[in-house]
Copies of this chain bind each other. A is one copy, B any other.
């Protein structure tokens, strides 16, 4: 009996889970794998799921899909929109949404497994399906590696992965070399001295300290990075204080940094630290700020030869013009740890999830930025068709390129 991928996708979309909390998602995956006659290994890297399809001699191809949602309040208005909530690591009760399309990734990988099994007479080798948790924390692939995913399952000859994006449905974006940026997530705590809101002179105001720091951090990209180099310094969250009339004792900033390589990482990190410390000093802070690296993602680098093979296979399958070079993305991924750790090539591509007519209208109207919601937006909503079908086919075509 065939999987109902539409029902699977809407079910996953309705029930997103935060990173390392994907227990229901894992159970759904395990259930579908059982329907396919496959054995699910659950709990790999806390909440990950792995299965193996052995089909004679030949290369081992890893197909990876990530599973987690985000603390974003869904505003798509879809009939299957999420109203789920979760508890984030700070203990806050937050809305949760599949705002990055990982539900689509899981659906496509399950569909691809079904197709590969159905056509097992046409290929030989081994497919390992890796359902990875906590990509959004940049921590899931390392958790699986720490849990010995490379030792417990057949070691890959190649790692393949894909991500749904706001390209027109039908279009694949992939390039050799750096496909996605390296990234670090930092937490900065700036220490002032609290007191009554009416007596600022008896305090060291951490709100002003943090605001000045945010403004100064803009100069890293605007003044200190070569304009031709890709770098991003985002302060994604700022929190201080409980009440208008109490000056709090500290402020917390969470930063996301992006760069193309390790040299740039080192430069940007040192500038960020220099600014944070100097702005604390400008406020007369009596305690040094604390800077913690919460996660650190390598650049996602596509192997040149393997990418050329995948690109050619896509063009044969989907026609000329179906593959574009989308440029380097400033977003980051932790998929490459699998390939780095195993010492094998990686190919990671994007596929479009926007209705082509909608996309064309937005391009014509110059409203792409405004009208096409991007990943992590509360309005992010890939069209189900043909996005699901293409997600399935992409994986099958790419995997078959390497399977004997």
What is the minimal beta-carbon distance from A14 to any residue of chain B, in angstroms? 21
Q: Are A254 and B243 in contact, with the CB atoms below 8 A?
A: yes
Q: How many residues of A contact B (CB 8 A)?
A: 92
A324 at interface, CB cutoff 8 A = no
Q: Are B328 and A228 in contact, with the CB atoms below 8 A?
A: yes
Closest residue on chain B to residue A233 by CB atoms? B222
Q: Are B236 and A244 in contact, with the CB atoms below 8 A?
A: yes
Q: Are B219 and A208 in contact, with the CB atoms below 8 A?
A: yes
Q: Are A274 and B284 in contact, with the CB atoms below 8 A?
A: yes
Residues of B within 8 A of A352 (CB): none
Q: Are A216 and B376 in contact, with the CB atoms below 8 A?
A: no
Select the stretch in A5-13, A140-148, A198-206, A334-342 that faces chain B: A198-206
CA distance A332 to B196 in the complex (A): 11
Partner of A211, one of B211, B237, B294: B211
Residues of B within 8 A of A71 (CB): 242-243, 246
Residues of B within 8 A of A283 (CB): 219
A94 at interface, CB cutoff 8 A = yes
Partner of A210, one of B211, B233, B246, B249: B211
Q: Are A215 and B211 in contact, with the CB atoms below 8 A?
A: yes
Q: Are A208 and B218 in contact, with the CB atoms below 8 A?
A: yes
Q: Are A237 and B227 in contact, with the CB atoms below 8 A?
A: no
A221 at interface, CB cutoff 8 A = yes
Q: Are A329 and B198 in contact, with the CB atoms below 8 A?
A: yes
Partner of A279, one of B224, B246, B278, B294: B278
A70 at interface, CB cutoff 8 A = yes
Partner of A247, one of B234, B245, B281: B234
What is the minimal beta-carbon distance from A332 to any residue of chain B, in angstroms? 7
Interface residues of A in 248-283 (CB under 8 A from B): 248-249, 251, 254-256, 258, 271, 274-275, 277-279, 281-283
A154 at interface, CB cutoff 8 A = no
A84 at interface, CB cutoff 8 A = no
CA distance A213 to B212 in the complex (A): 10
What is the minimal beta-carbon distance from A181 to any residue of chain B, in angstroms? 7
Closest residue on chain B to residue A236 by CB atoms? B244
Residues of B within 8 A of A197 (CB): 232, 234, 236, 256, 258, 376
Partner of A234, one of B200, B228, B254, B256: B200
Closest residue on chain B to residue A330 by CB atoms? B198
Residues of B within 8 A of A207 (CB): 214, 235-238
Partner of A278, one of B232, B281, B329, B378: B281
Residues of B within 8 A of A211 (CB): 210-215, 235, 238
What is the minimal beta-carbon distance from A31 to any residue of chain B, in angstroms? 30
A72 at interface, CB cutoff 8 A = yes
Partner of A196, one of B223, B249, B369, B376: B376
A195 at interface, CB cutoff 8 A = yes
A194 at interface, CB cutoff 8 A = yes
CA distance A279 to B216 in the complex (A): 9
Residues of B within 8 A of A284 (CB): 224, 271, 274
- Max chain B CB contacts within 10 Å: which of A72, A92, A221, A248? A221
Would you give 22 A-B contacts (Cβ < 8 Å), ordered by A?
A88-B242, A92-B242, A196-B374, A196-B375, A197-B232, A197-B234, A198-B232, A198-B332, A199-B331, A199-B374, A201-B226, A202-B374, A203-B223, A227-B230, A235-B241, A237-B242, A239-B239, A239-B240, A245-B256, A245-B376, A278-B278, A278-B281
